[in-house]
């Protein structure tokens, strides 16, 4: 008999502030913080911990509440979506009158932007017939001059995962995912809190600070699944 999930969520990370390794780095950041204090931005020495955001069928998720994942939790990670609560669905029709990348007609700017900043799970049916599942992404880099509305496809990383939204595409956005093709199921196992650096991508020059290692799966592989904001179910 299939056991019903107890909770649902989206994989995420949680930033943990750490003490400085030396007084030089601490003094440097304190000086920078004094210079940018008027912006409300603060530079700290930190690392990321593996976490999740709980989602609910009634769409009451608090995306500011990020919970730490604990050893012993049994979860399933989904690669596709077959059942869930639909937040919004419709045909893409972007109004570019006030913003060059556009906002969806029929929704307020806040409604549209909030879905992407929440990295909600979604299904995108392209006009050419291809369908894919992924997390909504307000993608920005030098030259975009503001966020571009995209999907980060599950199972892919980096630029290869990004898929743009074109007028005429059909988009279905989910506030909570209940079921789908399971990419991985198992019981979580983490090491002790002991911050370390892990290479980000193929270049050893770019590293990502993590709080703890994973033992249920290769740490780098779990990190990329987390970056994909995979929907999950807890048992």
Domain stop point among 149, 164, 179: 179
Residues 156, 188, single domain; the answer is: no
Is 18 among the domain residues? yes
User: Cβ(230)–Cβ(10) under 8 Å?
Assistant: yes
Maximum distance among all alpha carbons in the chain? Answer: 61
Residue 69, sorted as left (phi over 0), alpha (psi -120 to 50) or beta, turns out to be: beta
Q: Are residues 174 and 185 in the same domain?
A: no
Boundary (domain end) residue, out of 179, 200, 218: 179
Let me know whether 193 and 167 are in one domain: no
In terms of domains, do 66 and 145 share one?
no
d(CA 50, CA 13): 5
Helix (H, G, I), strand (E, B) or coil at 79: coil
DSSP at 127: T
Q: What are the backbone angles phi and psi of residue 162, rounded to the nearest 5°?
A: -80, 130
Same-domain pairing of 37 and 109: no
Query: Does any domain span residue 2?
Result: no
Q: Identify whether residues 218 and 134 lie together within a single domain.
A: no
186 closest CA partner among 158, 160, 214: 214
Per-residue confidence (pLDDT) for residue 58, from 0 to 100: 81
The first and second tokens of residue 33, run together, are 């913080």
Question: According to the model, what pLDDT value does residue 1 have?
Answer: 54
Q: Does residue 1 fall inside a structural domain?
A: no
Task: Give the per-residue pLDDT at 204.
Answer: 59
**DSSP secondary structure code for residue 37 in this structure:** G
Q: Taking the mean position of all CA atoms in its chain, how far away is CA 89?
A: 20
Q: How many domains does the chain have?
A: 2
Whether 66 and 97 share a structural domain: no
Q: Are residues 73 and 143 in the same domain?
A: no
pLDDT of residue 200: 77
**Considering the domain boundaries, does residue 121 fall inside one?**
yes
Q: Decide which of 159, 179, 199 is a domain's last residue.
A: 179
Given this model, what pLDDT does residue 145 score?
Answer: 93
pLDDT tens for each residue of the chain, 235 residues long: 567 788 999 999 999 998 888 898 888 888 887 888 888 878 888 899 999 999 988 877 787 899 999 999 999 999 999 999 999 999 999 999 999 999 999 999 999 999 999 999 999 999 989 999 999 999 999 999 999 999 999 999 989 999 999 999 999 999 999 999 999 999 999 999 999 999 876 655 678 899 999 999 999 999 999 999 999 999 9
CB 30 within 8 A of CB 23: no
218 and 168 belong to one structural domain: no
Query: How many Å apart are CA 128 and CA 23, to the nearest integer?
Result: 57
Domain of 34?
Answer: 7-79+181-234
pTM of the complete model: 0.88
95 in the same domain as 155: yes
Distance CA 145, CA 137 (A): 15
Is residue 92 assigned to a domain?
yes
């929704």: which residue's tokens?
107
199 and 148 in a common domain: no
Examine residue 157 and state whether it is found in any structural domain, yes or no. Answer: yes
Give the three-class secondary structure for 160.
helix
173 with 125, same domain: the answer is: yes
């Amino acid at each position: 008999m299939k056991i019903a999930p107890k909770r649902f969520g989206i994989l995420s990370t949680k930033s943990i502030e750490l003490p400085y390794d030396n007084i030089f780095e601490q003094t440097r950041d304190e000086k920078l913080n004094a210079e940018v204090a008027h912006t409300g931005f603060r530079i700290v020495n930190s690392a990321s911990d593996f976490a999740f955001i709980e989602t609910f069928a009634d769409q009451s998720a608090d995306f500011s509440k990020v919970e730490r994942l604990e050893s012993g939790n049994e979860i399933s990670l989904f690669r596709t979506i077959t059942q869930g609560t639909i937040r919004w669905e419709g045909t893409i029709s972007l109004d570019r009158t006030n913003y060059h990348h556009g906002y969806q007609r029929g929704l307020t700017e806040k409604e549209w932007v909030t879905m992407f900043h929440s990295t909600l799970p979604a299904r995108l049916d392209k006009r050419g017939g291809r369908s894919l599942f992924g997390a909504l992404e307000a993608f920005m880099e030098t030259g975009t001059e503001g966020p571009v509305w995209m999907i980060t496809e599950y199972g892919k990383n980096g630029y290869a995962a990004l898929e743009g939204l074109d007028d005429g595409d059909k988009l279905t956005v989910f506030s909570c995912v209940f079921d789908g093709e399971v990419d991985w199921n198992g019981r979580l196992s983490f090491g002790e809190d002991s911050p370390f650096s892990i290479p980000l991508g193929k270049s050893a020059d770019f590293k990502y600070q993590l709080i703890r290692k994973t033992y249920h799966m290769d740490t780098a592989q779990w990190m990329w699944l987390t970056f994909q904001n995979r929907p999950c179910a807890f048992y």
